[in-house]
Structure 1
Amino acid sequence: MNTRALWAMVLSLCLGGSVLFAASGKRIDQRDDAFLFCLKPMVKPLTIHRAQEPVEVNLPALNTFFDSNGIVRIEPWIPHATDQDHDGDIYSNRIYRVYLDPARQTEIETVKSKLEQLPFVLSAEFENIHRIDYTPNDTRYYQQCSLPAVKADLAWDYFIDLGQTPGDRAVLLASVDTGVDYTHPDLQDNVWVNQGEIPSSVFSDLDADSSGKVTSVEIVAYLTANNLDLNSDGEIDLQDALQTGSPLVDNNDGDGNGFTDDIIGWDLSGWAGVDDNDPMAKQGVGNGSTWAHGTHVAGILAATSDNNLGIASTAFNASMIPVKCSREQQSGEPYVNDGYAGLIYAAKAGYYAGTFTIINLSWGGGGFSNYEQSQVNIAHDTYGAVIVAAAGNGLDTPPYGEQYSTHYPSSYDNVISVAAMGCNGVWGHWATYHETVDLSAPGEGVLSTIIGTGYASWDGSSMASPNAASCIGLLKAFYPSWTNVELENRILETADPFIYDLNTEDYLQGRLGTGMVDIYNAIGAGYLPLLNYYTHSFVWVQDDGDQILNPGESVQLRVLLQNEIGRALAQNVVGTLRTNTVGVAITDSTAEYPDINPGAIGVNITDTYAFSVSSGIPLGEINFVLHVTATGEAGAEYTVDLPFTVPVTLNQAGWPVDNPSQIESSPLVYDVDGDGSNEILFGDYDGAFHVLDRYGVERDGFPYATGDDIWGSPAVADLDHDGDVELVIGSKAQHLVILNPDGTVQTDYAAGQYLMGTPAIGNLDDDADLEIVFGGYSTPGKLFAINPDGSDVPGFPLTLSEKIQRGVALRD
């Protein structure tokens, strides 16, 4: 008896049906890390300057309270509520959720009571827990790393959100193997019952709940009630239903599938090849021996879940068909003797039951066989089965270890080949890899059932394969009308390729399938959208016109969201903008989006977010998180947090420019083309003379190649009085060039010396024209003065006793 349940019942009766409370007075089904409070109607909704520690809002008294009472986070409870959303004095847009420092969560009731005393607070309440992530109560659930590895725990929530138990007893999963101890307490309740083989004379007696379906639980209850221990083993269990004298055995092939009295499955092998209707694993062997292989596989496929016992299975509530294919006359480690016969039986079992079977084959060996491929094709194409098989355990002789190889039946067409990985996605270097592998799944330390009542953790692709098959079983439960091909395509298309990020060896690439099986993604791909951050853009509110976010500016923000191809339509999309970056004030945190089709991009055109940055904000990245909620098919709820960054910089648009060579001298800023915007002129060590516009874009005709290093700055003047300026630059190429604004050469003066300094321009002779003066950095150093046409000014060049490295100066 469950004494905890009895104590709860006694308390409930004594308290007149009231619910249980923790010692603090808070109910045990309420959060202990956060609570809610509501402002009075006359108090305006809060402006949240900082949502996380240290929390800062626009009410100083609240900030003081938060600081002294361990409040580390605040958020609106109903983010897009307005003033019209109220019930009496309770306004939805004035209700907030606050989180306590973990070290002070034991004080939650005290903190809540103190907050209620503040004059602007209407009330405060504990927040109820509405659980959506489902965890079964199987006692060894937390020892099963394979379930979270394939995201089964998340996938079950799709069913829970619809008010359903995960899985479907109409989904059939077959363990075609060494036989199954189907009386194991964690298997018996999920064993398939062939409705067509139940004699009409006892059907109504067995169907205790009048559901029109007889279950294994109902069969055992009937046998127990009638004290039918027909195999005289001292136990009444499901095996008694298959014995001579059982009211279920009538020696008729009731469903016409060719197998008489196949009530729960079939034994294709018997002792020496004679088949029968009892697929029980061989008795009198070690419970954890290789004869338990089929039982271990069966537990992974379809162990009874949420039964306060042992383990859970991904398929959760499916039906398991035990099919025995190993002959018991074998001594030592058994072989699978009649595997393809078992394959066809399992396929027919589903077909004649009005559905199709997901068949697991955790065995293999030998090369390609046309006969074997044909049996696979028949099972797949004629009877609509899904066939999943182990990809292999690498070399089975010294030196053992991983192996690049085909493996049959897993490498046949119409079979999903499954490689074994660690639960964390790491390749263990012991299994088989190949291009014919379709998928990976957990195959290390997989806990499951063995003969008797026990459990064991085993390694092997034999464990990986049923992990994948069980996922397909859950997928079929959610999409019961899908064909085998549709299920196969979806499970492969939605696998998580992160395994290739972890296992980067070249020889593994493309040889572990499409990724780790991901049942959460497989179900959600047709049920929920999958939104990703695409890009963002600004509507400028207060800025300097350069369209770059600088300190002290304010903007409206559009964030573009992309819905992945193949996912559900994203409806009722709402984003909530958050940041912890100091110096950022979000002034409009929520925005609504139009529906976003699969493969399309949605943008909040009119309903923008808004924020401002302080003048003293540190330069760098603002880290934003956009919390997005949406609905998919049938109103299914979807949430995701999408991080992105926005740079805050003093740079102008287009800057900095990445120049490939060193720049020695200062640039010259001048309006070269007379359009009212300045250009930036400079030379580099590659001998390139650049003219960039204000956005860092090179003007047409530039850069101009001088031929060698440019050390000096350029000079600019209208030398010929034509209304256009000329650009003057010297270089180590020993030439001074005068360029037009379009980069064409007006004058090329050969100095015969390195020209390393900046030219000076002035009127040396009081005529109408300007002259250009520059020095040479060669021995002997010369001082040059030339006219715009390249002719020397009379008296120049002058020979000096020193080289001239820098520019010259002119003065009246």
Structure 2
Amino acid sequence: MRWFRFPSLACLGALGGAAAGALVPSDASGGWPPPASASAADMADPENWPNDPDYGPSATQSGQWSFYSFLPAPSGSVRPRPEESAAGMAIDLAWRRTQGDPRVRIAVTGSGILWDDGDLLEKVWLNRGELAPFKPLHADGAACAGDGELAGFDCNGDGVLSASDYKDTPGLTPAASEGRPQGDRNGNGRLDAGDLILHFSDGIDDDQNGYVDDIAGWDFFKNDNDPFDDTRNGQGTEGAKIAAAQTNNRLGGAGACPLCRVVPLRVGDSRVADAQDLAKAILYAADLRADVVQCPVTAVDSTAFLQAALDYAHGEGTLVVAPVGDEGSRHHSAPAMSNHALPVSAVRYDGQSVRTSTTFLDASPCSSFGGNNLLAVSSAGCASDATAELAGVAGLLYSAALERGVTLSTAEMQGLLIASADDIDVPESREPGSPYFSSQPGFDQRFGHGRVNANRAVEALHDGRVPPAIDLTSPRWFEVLYKDQAQVPVPIEGTISAKRATAYDYAIEWAPGVQPLESEFRVLQREVNVAPTVIIGASGPLASLDVRTIDPSHARDADSPHGENDRAITVRAWATARYGGAAGDVRSEARRTYYVASDPTLVDGFPVLVGDSGEGSPKLADLDGDGGREIIYPTSGGELHVLKVTPKGPKPLPGFPFRTRHADGLLDPETSEDMPFYGGARAYGEVAWEKLGREPILGAPAIADLDGDGSLEIAVSTWPGTVYVVGDTGELREGWPVRLPDIPSCPLDPGAPASAPCMSAGARLARGAFAAPVLADLDGDGRIDVIQAAFDGKVYAFDADGGALRGWPVEVHYEGPLAREPARSRLLATPAVADFNGDGLPDLLVGSSERLGDDGDAGAVYVLDARGTAAPSGPVLAGWPVTMPSLSLAPLVAEGIAASGVVGRFGGTLAGVVQGNGAPPLVLPASPGAQDGLLSTPAGALPPSRGGSPAGLDPTFGPLSPAAGARTMLPLLSHPALGDVDQDGTPDVIAAGASEAAALALAGERGAERPGPHLLAVWSGRSGAMLPRAPFVLEDHTVGSSQAVVDLNGDGYPEVLTGSSGYFLHAFDGCGREPRGFPKFTGQSIATTPAVGDLDGDGTLEVVVGTRDGWLFAWHTEATTGALVAWESFHHDNQNTGNLETPLAQGGGRNAARPLTVDLCEGAQQAQVILRLGGGCACAAAGDPQGGAGGERAAIGAALLGAMALWGRRRRA
């Protein structure tokens, strides 16, 4: 997911080269492609550039510097570091050997394609099999020429099948008119592949590949044959152009692989996608024999089906390039955390332009990092943008291999890119206070094996220097290997081969840490002079690792100041191919990061590998009536697990796991709605049935007795938009599931009637749901109803039998006076339930993802009458909606109001608590009062203004906060929670986020303090000030999750439990203290809200979380079942009401003897975070020598500055 961009520094001495001495002239064109004798100095000469106007640097543009083997001419006194001599990856020199090959296909996943883009009109791959009945003709009706497979297709004689071959074909409609060529069915003024889809889709699978009329790619988001980017997001189009734009055509920029073909595969309407849709696209690409899958998206989830697709692609020789992440963190993103993907990060220049920069190897701080970051790619954007450059480079390599008659495996291609990379090692980055991100000789987690060098890779291939093929498969990335659970050594599985060499050597080694130096590795297994016919690992493990004897201790690395990698070890396999002669020896390696730990507080049998990621938070409830709670846990693989803790470990209740239906396109065509069926494709004969994708469950389950029979039902909803209700024995209840209405793309053909609603640039709607279902009696009939916020911008309500309630659904759309009407958008927030208007029926507090304001950096929150559209005064209560600042940080998941609001009673007043991204939460009573402007706080916000301070919550840190430096905290990317943490009788507001300095840095502002820590804030609901030691320091983002509130140590002051992407589950009391046994370590990103309850009937509470990596954890605590439990799981309770006043079926406990005050916190200890210029944060406890130094949109930075200035003005008012 693409979040922010901000500059920093990291450096390297690279290729010998030269500085460009002139700006790009308007008539530059002549010497491209470069001759074989061209040098880096020659490529600095504009005469040797392609004539694409965006290619070269100028006074107003930085050009395509990531392609350069030279340094652009500096401006003024700013000079690049003398150790550097190349701005980019020497793609320009690689063009001496190859400019690509039309037989090489790059499948581009993402938002789809804009058919009218001039640089891609002739680059889109067209399926001859589907077009065989519709061959193009000359204007006189004569057949066209062409050789081999192109026979009858190549009307223009360029040796490639493209849209222009059809330009003279008689009979294409509409006829040519002013501004429109003949056949322009989609009305964009061009004859393009989209027009051919409209002309020639005949409902017949002519090539019998399992996809009917796949003329030019496929749309796996809408499940049709037109991958058009209907919301005009542009991400897929831009990525395709970077990889393979038409080049030297005096238009736009150059493509890295100018002659490669592009296959557009739509998997979403932005950089965000569902793993199941992405998996389907990867399988399609592999069946198509695409050479590369360019995967700039990060999936919201990670599934076994996605892994199966990656495995299949690997076996078919299709390389999948994936971003390590765009969060600027160690958050584990899919598919980069999966086997058989090539994860990459981005490096860029550090100044405002290429001509005012001192380095071109600045680690892009919006790129994530970690042990799985294998390569650094020059790119002006984040890691997702870098995939386009690398896909183009890979296209060049596959093209060069084709020209030599070599078929490269994916492992060989990965090895080739790694072996030819330029190591990034800056000694001064390891000095205290360095402005550079830390680097070292060899692999490091910010830069991987180094910056890609396209020219060196192409030359190696030309010289026959193909590295060994190494594939590590088990254990999985980031798995925790428990010393106290191991009974035998852990097998290291994978394969090693070097079939082209005369012989090869190999070794399996391990070392402590996430980025150990070469000298620190210790041999587990080694052989020399292995015959090229032997595949090591084909008949057994590569080696065994006895974790019982391993000590992972090592000096803390600079990017793990909170101990995130203290338990890390690296296992690697290396091999050297012996060629002899001029080719010599060629080495390659593969590695994995694991963790070695002991944890006696884990419940027996945990952690459990469920195999699919957990974005939907766990719930704990007694389903079988034996007095103990079971774990109810949904997964992105479409499984609803119910696990009972027994003396022999966790066991599923009979009838579970319940499984959702198969994902769209994978259903039996006899039972599905009007939906294509992909099961006939070749790939689906290879992927095991049990691994086929099911509808992912990404929201928390809701649990209650819906039908009054004394047993509990479970409601879940899926990302593709199906709501299920399941009984306590795993059976679907009558009337369920309910499928939400389909939202098709609006038609491109101007003459075709549009259905309403449909998806377009003005309506970013879809069928689907991310919000959790909520259970409440909306109509007062004594039976609980099911409430679901959805991607079509509506809130639905169903009775227990699946029937729609009167007055529902309600469309949530802003038409207020404070902003012009926005494009319609999805609802991601889970509604909260409370009787705001006093009529005895529960109303719904819900935010919309609609972007308000000129820059889209605001959103709106609504209170909907329980009667919906049947309410006499309309579905929205008077005084609502309320608008508030909310930065548009990422498409879909972080725009508008995506956070789920909550409800509590403050000083006797019922109020909703809502938050956007980058502004303090608002506490709003039923009558919130007037607003002066789009970003202003309503007059009635709580706490009220007193003593000259503004109404509402103060983002200023508490006086004892351990986060030194910037003094304000802004919620980001998570949901609020409530609980009386300070025990003063009023609920306190809890939210996770970051300091102002961190938010400004992420937005691209180059302030004196950056980037600052991740934080967990607790505001006093009574005073609006943060508690004395708040905010508390976290190690990473808390993306998409919330907190639980429970007294774990019996002192009367409840702890706030929260997980993060930095692997830990924390439990802070109001003074920032953690009870014995905390924090808990998972080694993985936690994206769920913890749940607490007694699982084993021993009278004490357990705590449960799931991870992005597919593991479920449960720990014992010292808290008794009578402890104070204020907020037990996501959205407060098992019905997901989000209301602090909803009774819980557990807890009690004593209140503290006195409220928490500054004097009670003064003795509390927590590691202090010190913000350091440029290099991130250095975090260390007093006296601890460890710790380390570590924009995309100016509008975001401006909005942040504006929001802070606005808050400051309100303070002074």
What TM-score bracket applies, with the shorter chain setting the length?
0.3 to 0.5
Larger radius of gyration: 1
Pick 1 or 2: higher relative contact order, CA cutoff 8 A, min separation 6: 2
Q: TM-score, normalised by structure 1?
A: 0.41
Bigger fraction of residues in helix? 1
